[in-house]
Amino acid sequence: MSNVANLEVDGKKYSLPVVSGTENEKAVDISALRASSGYITLDEGYGNTGACLSKITFIDGETGILRYRGIPIEELAEKSTFIETAYLIIYGKLPTHEELRRFSDLLTANQNLHEDMKYHFEGFPSSSHPMAILSAMINAASCFYPELMQGDRSNFDLHVARLISQVRTIAAFSYRKTVGRPIIYPKNAYKYTANFLHMLFSDPYDDYEIKPEVVRALDLIFLLHADHEQNCSTSTVRMVASSQANLYASCASGVCALWGPLHGGANQAVVEMLKDIHQSGDDGSKFITDAKDKTSGRKLMGFGHRVYKNYDPRAKIIKKACDEVLVSLKIDDPLLEIAKKLEDAALKDSYFVERKLYPNVDFYSGIIMRALGVPVEMFTVIFAIGRMPGWIANYKEIAEETKSRICRPRQIYTGPALNHYVPIGRRE
């Protein structure tokens, strides 16, 4: 097979290198096209553009494959934890006992925020969305580490641990601020996910009961969201990192991108859809019929995926956890009954099967978080906590690439042709 692609434009031919990935992915390298021909490529939304070379995550959407550093997501979900998986994603290998212990100790030692951060929380109105507070406070936290602001990477491992550990502290404080409840500090005795639940739900006079099945379900949600290749938020982190912005600023930009309802808000949209169905008096049957009618305006949220043209591999994993949690907690929720009806229809109804509109990870994670008592406005925050290792790993790739350049996409201008200034007195 030729290792070049030939392009003919205006009667001239150009040879473009073909790049192959580890899994035999193919790309045409057009980085020199403009210099040699004057042309650029146009791909609105970057849906068919490879923006980088990366060693972190591999996805095959056609066959439903997701791997972190080459390890199938199914194996990690069954055998690993979020923190061990975070280490794998960031550092490129599974940790030894000693490396994992040191990493865990760093997380515990750096889970508390600087006390002056409390004053920043007090400045937000109680109506603030937790994602707004989260992004702002991650940026603010960087101010307490001057060496980070100066671009010093000598303590990079420490800053990684601080950010992964403190993001859940900031998240919990943000939520409690919005509901007017006192801040709960982390406990050294609790591990990562249990500590987040403690800070989220405990009272000063009564600790939240830490149930193993609840901890495991939330830890799994974190793990399944830890990275997902070049999505909107991760691409944003890489673009900001390319300017040599610091780690905290770059990851805060990821939070802002994730906040959008077309990205991180999908699991929240699932629960809101279920609420609307229930409030209308429907058990889901009419909604299913309406969803198949393009003129109805009703859309089935949490089904299908931009990347996966097969069953989302994360959905298969989390469905099992979802079923176990609902049974274990003996949840009696009419919304969950509607969800089961929609799921059954999507897996059996030929309309959805033919279009491969399978339930995705957002569908099941939304159901689990509702069952765990996580408020809807915190769903995207949970997503951000889980995605933090992936953002950090992508930042690290940019920072360690000596030939890295600042990201600067081109455009095709479609505005007015040459125009001239008209004094205000002569304008009609």
Question: Residues 317, 75: contact at Cβ < 8 Å?
Answer: no
Task: State which of 222-236, 255-269, 327-341 shows the largest mean pLDDT.
Answer: 222-236
pLDDT per residue over 139-177, tens digit each?
999 999 887 766 667 789 999 999 999 999 999 999 998
Same domain, 354 and 389: no
Domain assignment of residue 335, yes or no: yes
Same domain, 361 and 391: no
Among 38, 65, 92, give the residue marking a domain's end: 65
Rounded Cα–Cα distance for residues 163 and 249 (Å): 11
**Burial grade of 1 (CB within 10 A; 0-12, 13-18, 19 or more):** exposed
Segment 42-49 shows an average pLDDT of: 90
Domain assignment of residue 325, yes or no: yes
Question: Residues 360, 302: contact at Cβ < 8 Å?
Answer: yes
Question: Residues 424, 178: contact at Cβ < 8 Å?
Answer: no
Write down how long the chain is. 428
CATH number (domain holding residue 212): 1.10.580.10
Rounded Cα–Cα distance for residues 155 and 281 (Å): 57
Whether 305 sits among the annotated catalytic residues: the reply is yes
Same domain, 140 and 275: no
Is residue 54 predicted with pLDDT exceeding 60?
Answer: yes
What's the confidence (pLDDT) of residue 2? 62
Domain assignment of residue 427, yes or no: no
Domain assignment of residue 394, yes or no: yes
Q: What is the DSSP letter of 424?
A: G
DSSP for 116-156, please give it: THHHHHHTS-TT--HHHHHHHHHHHHHTT-HHHHTT--TTH
Segment 71-83 shows an average pLDDT of: 97
Same domain, 382 and 234: yes
Rounded to 5 degrees, what angle do the CA atoms 232, 38, 414 make? 60
Number of H helices, E strands in the chain: 19, 6
Residue 334: both structure tokens together: 């009419």
Rounded to 5 degrees, φ, ψ at 412 are -110, 115
Rounded Cα–Cα distance for residues 427 and 346 (Å): 59
Amino acid at 182: P
Amino acid at 146: P
Question: Mean pLDDT across the chain, nearest whole number?
Answer: 91
CATH number (domain holding residue 16): 2.20.28
Whether 198 sits among the annotated catalytic residues: the reply is no
- Please tell me the total count of domains within the chain: 3
Same domain, 144 and 171: yes
**Burial grade of 103 (CB within 10 A; 0-12, 13-18, 19 or more):** buried
pLDDT per residue over 199-232, tens digit each?
999 999 999 999 999 999 999 999 999 999 999 9
Same domain, 233 and 274: no
pLDDT per residue over 333-383, tens digit each?
788 788 888 888 888 888 888 888 888 888 888 888 988 888 889 999 999
Question: Residues 138, 120: contact at Cβ < 8 Å?
Answer: no
Q: Which residues pair with 253 in a beta bridge?
A: none
Same domain, 188 and 59: no
Q: Give the domain range for residue 327.
A: 266-372
CATH number (domain holding residue 344): 1.10.230.10
Question: Residues 396, 163: contact at Cβ < 8 Å?
Answer: no
Domain assignment of residue 135, yes or no: yes
Domain assignment of residue 103, yes or no: yes
Rounded Cα–Cα distance for residues 145 and 166 (Å): 13
User: Which candidate, 118, 128, 111, places its Cα nearest to that of 173?
Assistant: 118
Count of C-beta atoms within a 10 Å radius of residue 338 = 20
Catalytic residue among 198, 225, 305, 312: 305
- Collapsing DSSP states into helix, strand and coil, what is residue 67? strand
Domain assignment of residue 417, yes or no: no
Same domain, 210 and 280: no
Same domain, 105 and 215: yes
Among 40, 65, 90, give the residue marking a domain's end: 65
Same domain, 211 and 81: yes
Same domain, 277 and 362: yes
| pTM metric for this prediction | 0.93
Domain assignment of residue 129, yes or no: yes
Same domain, 252 and 289: no
